[in-house]
């Protein structure tokens, strides 16, 4: 009796065909399945510089009263990041501390409207 087949490594379910297993993984273990295929860009670690730039811009937007579309403004700054990735960073205490730092130590942002202010950070790492 042949025992050939394909076992789901996530839940040990047995499948007669590889295709069947693939369909099962896509429907039952989508997140794990996608991780197997590629590491999403959003998983790449954020550098300190990136967080600095993002926090600075966000602090600036907040001081300008633009609190509703912050992510829409931040997204173009990080072409390789997703909106979800940005939201993920915003939930971190480390990032909140940066925002507080920029908001408190740079009250001049209130009058700054120049969006190219990020150029100050384009020095070599």
Could you list the residues that contact Zn ion (CB under 5 A)? Answer: 8, 10-11, 13, 28
Terminal C-alpha separation, the chain: 63
Angle between helices 30-37 and 18-28 (to 10 degrees): 120
Closest CA to 89 of 49, 40, 54: 54
- Residue 27 Cβ vs Zn ion, minimum distance, rounded to whole Å: 9
Q: 3-class DSSP state for residue 4?
A: coil
- Least separation in angstroms between CB 34 and Zn ion: 14
Q: Tell me which H or E stretch contains 7.
A: strand 6-7
Closest distance between Zn ion and the C-beta of residue 39, in Å? 21
Nearer to Zn ion, 29 or 64 (CB): 29
Our CB check for Zn ion shows the closer of 36 and 84 to be: 36
Between CA 36 and CA 80 the distance in angstroms is 20
Instruction: State which residue, 9 or 94, has the beta carbon closest to Zn ion.
Output: 9
Cβ distance to Zn ion smaller for residue 22 or 115: 22
The CB-of-10 to Zn ion minimum distance in angstroms stands at 4
């Amino acid at each position: 009796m042949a025992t050939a087949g394909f076992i789901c490594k996530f839940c040990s379910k047995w499948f007669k065909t590889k295709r069947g297993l693939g369909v099962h993984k896509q429907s039952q273990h989508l997140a794990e399945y996608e991780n197997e295929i590629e590491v999403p860009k959003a998983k790449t670690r954020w550098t300190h510089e990136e967080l600095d730039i993002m926090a600075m811009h966000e602090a600036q937007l907040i001081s300008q009263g633009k609190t509703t579309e912050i992510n829409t403004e931040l997204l173009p700054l990080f072409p390789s990041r997703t909106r979800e990735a940005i939201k993920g960073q915003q939930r971190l205490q480390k990032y909140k501390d940066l925002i507080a730092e920029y908001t408190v130590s740079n009250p001049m942002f209130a009058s700054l409207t120049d969006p190219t202010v990020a150029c100050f950070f384009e020095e070599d790492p």
